Amino acid sequence: MPFVRRSLFAYFLVLLGGWLGAALLSGCGSDKPEQAASTAAPAAGVSGPQPLLDSAYVARALGAVPQFRAQLPWAEKFYRERQYRLGWFKDHQLVPQATQLLQTIAKAADEGLDPRKYQVKDLAKLFSALKVAPDEAHRDALEQETDVALSGTYFVWASDFYRGVANPHDAKNTAWQVKPNKIKLHKALLTYLGDRKSKYGYYEFAPLHPEYNNLKKALAAYRTREAAGGWPALPTGLALRPGQASPAVSALRQRLLGAPDDTAAHASPVYDKALVSAVKAFQNDAGLRPDGVVSGATLRELNVPIGQRIDQILLNMERWRWLPKKFEADYLLVNIPEYRLRVVENGQEALTMRVIVGKTLTATPIFSDKMEYVVLAPYWYVPFSIVDKELKNKLAANPRYLDRLDMEVVKGYGRKATVIDPGTIDWANVTQANFRYTVRRRPGPKNDLGNVKFIFPNSNDVYLHDTPHGELFSQVSRNFSHGCVRVEEPMKLAAYLLRDKPEWDEQTILDTVATHREKYITLTKKLPVYLVYLTAWADAEGHAHFRDDIYGHDKALALELFDKPAGPAPVRVATRPQPAKTAALAASAKRD
């Protein structure tokens, strides 16, 4: 089981005590790695040249250990760059990083990882043998074995910590198409051992993203709460409004304010202002309407067991390991389960707004690309599925049927498109194979894409766009589309993206839209776009926020990481019914 959900830190320290015990001084209160490493090395006075390795030895030593085999390519690159000199020894002494690595692994549970996975070789035995090696030949052989074992251990650990336990690009995780984390682990180890410099925190195993570190803080807080007994469940069917009195108020106070059982039991049974404020804050954190009423969705979220929340944090820590090791200074990010878009400029949030994403059956894909242009007054190109199922029979009976829909038939795309008289087409015999044309809706108030769309060319045929159905943004759950992402404030976003083009101020944008003539505007600089799937995140203080698993990706990942299905809570399994768009024509679209 690659992940550890419970707080087993004390157990793992005992489990790995053999490793650390061989490396620490008798005064084990010292936390200085220089002191720790010195006792794990041969006695003072050992001399002679440091032994070398060769490619055959490295391949043989790592290949003999199943857990190390997958790391062999990294080890080969690491030792090749060092001309096969040992990496973990200096003058026959283990370097301080050796003990630091073992101490870090002993605390792997803090990262949601299982320390037992990294106890591959009996390093304590090797450390002890080094101190009593009878001669130079034995000592050199032990140094070689220990060095390769430490490298193998590092790569197993670093692979999980920096790149993720699960492979986001294998057959089990095809939904995740964000550009991969490209950390070169042999470079990370060279940096860790001081052979090269890096702007990344490889020296101290620092997380690459602050968002990961925030989740780590939340994990610690939730495990502490779990160890203290977790939180009580509220009665099923509870409907509690501000000012009402109920026996359930005691449990609610304990759930949200963490009041001890005895204090909560003797407090007033009235649902008072302080508790209402706590409920509203909880509703905001859960993405619910902050009305202070405890019932329905709020009650379900309150009753999610703390163990499932811990699992949810772990799943999203894993996803942060999948993301690129560094975001660009400027980028646009859509968090699909949060229904929110953020634009980051120079590392700071510059713009944010609500979005509508795909329904479960037409899920918005998780991927990254670069935005290249903005389209004002866009055409909407009707998918052939709609032409086939809804239009062709009506057009066979009445070739002018498209006029009432403000649509037209064209040959070609963009500026080269030529309008075709629908009366010249044999609609009764149209198939996808023989239909050489495209049906499109003209710019204007009926257009499904609204007044603007934002294009980042991709194989998913997904983009951001306006919508004539702005009323849907008031909904709490906003998975209504057919895959594309509808944005709440498209003109604001367009003005921001074109801010470096003086000729395209906000009024010019509005005037262009009013002409109902499509206009493509190329961005001066391509903007990275990330469509991600994060159902848990935390602020710098470790205060956690959670969202529903609307597409079931948490459930699938939990099976891989925890070797168990997700729990029954809707946060984990994404079974809430999704509302459908009422317009029949748009409801059949492949992408909108």
**Can you tell me which residue has the tokens 């009976």?**
397
DSSP-based three-state secondary structure for 571:
helix
pLDDT at residue number 565: 59
Give the C-alpha separation, 422 to 401, whole Å: 9
How do beta strands 176-177 and 366-376 pair? parallel
- HEC profile for 440-479? EECCCCCCCCCCEEEECCCCCCCCEECCCCHHHHHCCCCE
Q: Which pLDDT score is estimated for 38?
A: 39
Distance CA(430)–CA(418), nearest Å, equals 19
Q: List all residues 6 or more positions away from 442 whose beta carbon is below 8 Å from its beta carbon.
A: 379, 406, 407, 408, 516
Q: Is 409 helix (H, G, I), strand (E, B) or coil?
A: strand
Amino acid letter, 512: T
Reference 488, options 588, 354, 339; nearest CA is 354
Hey, what domains does the chain have and what are their CATH numbers?
9-206 (no CATH), 234-302 (1.10.101.10)
Q: What is the pLDDT of residue 566?
A: 58
**Could you tell me how many helices (H) and strands (E) the chain has, helices first?**
24, 18
Q: What is the distance, to the nearest Å, from the Cα of residue 236 to the centroid of all Cα atoms in its chain?
A: 32
Cα–Cα distance measured from residue 592 to residue 385, given in angstroms and rounded to the nearest whole number: 13
pLDDT at 117: 93
CA dihedral over 153, 157, 160, 163, signed as positive or negative? negative
In which element (H, E) is residue 350 found?
Answer: strand 348-358
What pLDDT, on a 0 to 100 scale, did the predictor assign at position 186?
95
Cβ-proximal residues to 277 (8 Å cutoff; 6+ apart), any chain: none
List CB contacts of 59: < 8 A, sequence separation 6 or more. 72, 76
Tally of CB atoms within 10 A around 81: 16
How do 536-538 and 544-546 pair as beta strands?
Answer: antiparallel
**Closest to 97 (Cα-Cα) out of 173, 37, 170, 148:** 37
pLDDT at 583: 36
Supply the pLDDT for residue 191. Answer: 92
Beta-strand pair 380-381/438-441: antiparallel
pTM for the full model? 0.85
Residues near 494 by beta carbon (within 8 Å), at least 6 away in sequence: 374, 376, 452, 454, 509
Count of C-beta atoms within a 10 Å radius of residue 413: 11
Rg, Å, the chain Cα set = 30
Q: Are 579 and 480 in contact (CB under 8 A)?
A: yes
Structure tokens at 318: 């894993």
CB 259 within 8 A of CB 268: no
DSSP label of 241: -
Strand partners, 536: 546
State how far the Cα of 373 lies from the Cα of 522, in Å rounded to an integer: 4
Q: In sequence order, what are the beta bridge partners of 537? A: 545
Residues annotated as part of the active site: 465, 484
How many beta carbons lie within 10 A of that of residue 22, not counting itself?
A: 21
C-alpha angle with apex 320: 316 to 325, nearest 5 degrees? Answer: 180
* pLDDT tens track, the chain, 592 positions: 445 554 443 444 444 444 444 443 333 333 333 333 333 444 445 678 899 999 999 999 999 999 999 999 999 999 999 999 999 999 999 999 999 999 999 999 999 999 999 999 999 899 999 999 999 999 999 999 999 999 999 999 999 999 999 877 765 656 788 888 888 999 999 999 988 777 666 767 778 899 999 999 999 999 999 999 999 999 999 999 999 999 999 999 999 998 776 676 678 899 999 999 999 999 999 999 999 999 999 999 999 999 999 999 999 999 999 999 889 999 999 999 999 999 999 999 999 999 999 999 999 999 999 999 999 999 999 989 899 999 999 999 999 999 999 999 999 987 789 999 999 999 999 999 999 999 999 999 989 999 999 999 999 999 999 999 999 999 999 999 999 999 999 999 999 999 999 999 999 999 999 999 999 999 999 999 999 999 999 999 999 999 999 999 999 999 989 876 555 443 322 223 333 333 333 333 345 6
Give backbone dihedrals phi and psi of 325, rounded to 5 degrees, phi first.
-65, -15
Query: 154: which strand partners?
Result: none
Tell me the two tokens of residue 364: 């918005």
* Dist CA 352 CA 360 (whole Å): 24
CA torsion 426→429→430→431, rounded to 10°?
-160
Contact predicate 536/370, CB 8 Å:
no
Give phi and psi for 526, each to the nearest 5. -60, 140
Kind of pairing between the strands at 407-411 and 438-441: antiparallel
The residues that bridge with 558 in the sheet, in sequence order, are none
Contact between 491 and 452 under an 8 Å Cβ cutoff? The reply is yes
Residues 64 and 181: their CA atoms lie apart, in Å, by 28
DSSP-assigned letters across all residues of 33-57: HHHHHHTTSPPTT--SPPPB--HHH
Which CA distances in Å does 175 have to 533, 548, 552, 563?
Answer: 10, 17, 11, 20
Give the per-residue pLDDT at 234.
97
Whole-angstrom CA distances from 393 to 389, 402, 404, 577, 590 are: 8, 12, 15, 32, 19
Tell me how far the alpha carbon of residue 504 is from its chain's centroid: 35
